[in-house]
């Protein structure tokens, strides 16, 4: 904090004051005297991870009845449905058939993850 002279009454006042406390004279702010830096432009880096189609297929073949391949790709609703069907109807064999066919169809047709990114 530096001291400057009031242009009216010539008393020393703070350089941060907007008006002189003695005479009330408004002080003009000079851009050069202010040590305020303009805001710097901010850049935002977006990092996305690509899912592997090979891993998706392997998970679908090994753990497709449980919907693990869908959890991997970000399809949490599908994965939860397959898991619930397998756990509730799996002992009737019909649940295993339903989720097995469903998993095979997904292994063949799904090429994008839930965010719309192409699996490599």
Rounded CA separation 120/105 (Å): 19
Report percent pLDDT > 90 for the chain: 57
The string of pLDDT tens digits covering residues 56-106 is: 999 999 999 999 999 999 999 999 999 999 999 999 999 999 999 999 999
Helix-then-strand count for the chain, H and E = 4, 2
> What residue has token string 């497709």?
64
Q: What pTM was computed for the model? A: 0.62
Q: Compute the radius of gyration of the chain from its Cα atoms.
A: 34
Q: What does the mean pLDDT of the chain come to?
A: 88
Higher local confidence (pLDDT), 48 or 33: 48
What confidence score (pLDDT) does residue 44 get?
82
Find the helix or strand (DSSP H, E) in which 4 lies.
strand 3-5
């Amino acid at each position: 904090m530096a001291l400057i002279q009031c242009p009216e009454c010539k008393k020393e006042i703070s350089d941060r004051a907007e008006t002189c406390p003695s005479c009330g004279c408004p002080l003009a702010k000079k851009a050069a005297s202010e040590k305020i830096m303009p805001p710097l432009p901010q850049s935002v880096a977006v990092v996305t991870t690509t899912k592997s189609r090979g891993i998706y297929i392997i998970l679908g073949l090994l753990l497709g009845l449980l919907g693990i391949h869908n959890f991997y790709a970000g399809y949490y609703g599908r994965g939860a449905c397959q898991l619930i069907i397998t756990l509730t109807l799996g002992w009737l064999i019909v649940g295993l058939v339903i989720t097995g066919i469903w998993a095979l169809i997904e292994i063949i047709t799904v090429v994008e993850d839930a965010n719309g990114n192409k699996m490599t």
